[in-house]
């Protein structure tokens, strides 16, 4: 379907064609993200296979590997439509690609606006998710590493306060809890002195039984929710740049696909016009 086609005599334009620049630029755009999607799915599958079956069932709703696989599969399907649609000049696939990108962009924009307008509800939702993650802390090694990384980076412990770790069955402070980690907090909550020759990995032991000020000498007592909110307020320009960086490729994909669709439609209309009037003896 590609290439130049002669327009009918007397028409406003002599040639109508599908631009190879737009066509192959859209293909390259989709191919890059198609490869990224394959890598994401492969990493997610590998991480999932390395888990124990019982851990997988226990933490399915908060498993980072599952989230990575879902996002990767969706990206793979969408970019596949874009790749094949651009190469084959298939309007149906290109429209599917364009509609999917538009819907994703609108959903992201809506989520951002709703998150800003209903910040209190968004905060409660994040708190609920974090508490659920604390409950499954020992069930999923990926989730455990993610929480530990967050607590170390933000210098925090728990959701609202360090005693939130009682929600986990191993750190629960109930008197009948037989766990050796009873009333403790993870090592990632500890305040590490870089000058210490030997790091005390048991610094979080029995911290939930101590007073707030006393515990604050050895661990971070502030919750991660407040730390996260403060970090967001301090890095609004950075987050805005990241959001723009995510939006630009989507808008470019929508624009290129729409240009290519219009060019293909124009070419089909011109071809049909030529076929219709080719038998006209007066043309």
Cα–Cα dist 122/139, whole Å: 26
| pLDDT tens readout for residues 27-49 | 999 999 999 999 999 988 887 77
Q: CA torsion angle for 216, 220, 225, 229 (degrees, to 10)?
A: 100
Structure tokens at 209: 């039984």
- The pLDDT assigned to 196 comes to 66
Q: What is the pLDDT of residue 38?
A: 93
CB 246 within 8 A of CB 108: yes
Instruction: Give dist(CA 275, CA 269) in Å, integer.
Output: 10
Q: Mean pLDDT of residues grouped by 10 in the chain (283 residues)? A: 43 59 92 93 83 48 74 93 91 94 91 79 84 87 87 92 93 91 93 74 88 89 90 84 87 93 88 73 51
What are the b/e assignments for 11-41, b being 16+ CB within 10 Å? eeeeebebeeebbebbbebbbebbeebeebb
Locate the domains of the chain by residue range: 5-161+222-277
pTM for the predicted model, two decimal places: 0.69
Predicted local confidence at residue 80, as pLDDT: 93
The predicted structure's pLDDT at residue 167 = 93
* pLDDT per residue as tens digits for the range 84-110: 999 998 999 999 999 999 999 999 888
């Amino acid at each position: 379907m590609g290439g130049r086609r002669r327009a009918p005599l007397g028409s406003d334009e002599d040639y109508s064609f599908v631009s190879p620049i737009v066509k192959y630029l859209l293909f390259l755009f989709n191919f890059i993200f198609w490869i990224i999607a394959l890598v994401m799915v492969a990493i997610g599958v590998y991480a999932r296979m390395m888990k124990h079956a019982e851990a997988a069932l226990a933490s399915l709703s908060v498993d980072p590997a599952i989230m990575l696989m879902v996002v990767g599969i969706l990206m793979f399907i969408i970019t596949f439509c874009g790749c094949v649609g651009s190469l084959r000049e298939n309007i149906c696939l290109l429209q599917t690609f364009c509609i999917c990108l538009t819907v994703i962009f609108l959903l992201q924009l809506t989520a951002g606006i709703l998150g800003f307008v209903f910040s209190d509800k968004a905060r409660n939702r994040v708190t609920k998710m974090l508490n659920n993650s604390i409950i499954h802390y020992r069930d999923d090694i990926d989730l455990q590493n993610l929480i530990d990384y967050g607590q170390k980076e933000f210098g925090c412990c728990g959701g609202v306060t360090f005693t939130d770790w009682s929600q986990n069955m191993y750190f629960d402070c109930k008197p009948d809890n037989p766990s050796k980690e009873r009333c403790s907090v993870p090592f990632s909550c500890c305040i590490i002195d870089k000058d210490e020759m030997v790091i005390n990995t048991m610094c979080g032991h029995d911290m939930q039984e101590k007073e707030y000020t006393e515990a604050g000498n050895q661990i971070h007592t502030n919750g991660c929710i407040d730390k996260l909110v403060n970090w967001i307020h301090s890095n609004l320009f950075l987050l805005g740049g990241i959001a723009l960086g995510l939006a630009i490729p989507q808008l470019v994909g929508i624009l290129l696909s729409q240009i290519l669709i219009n060019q293909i439609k124009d070419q089909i209309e011109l071809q049909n016009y030529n076929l219709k009037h080719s038998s006209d003896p007066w043309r």
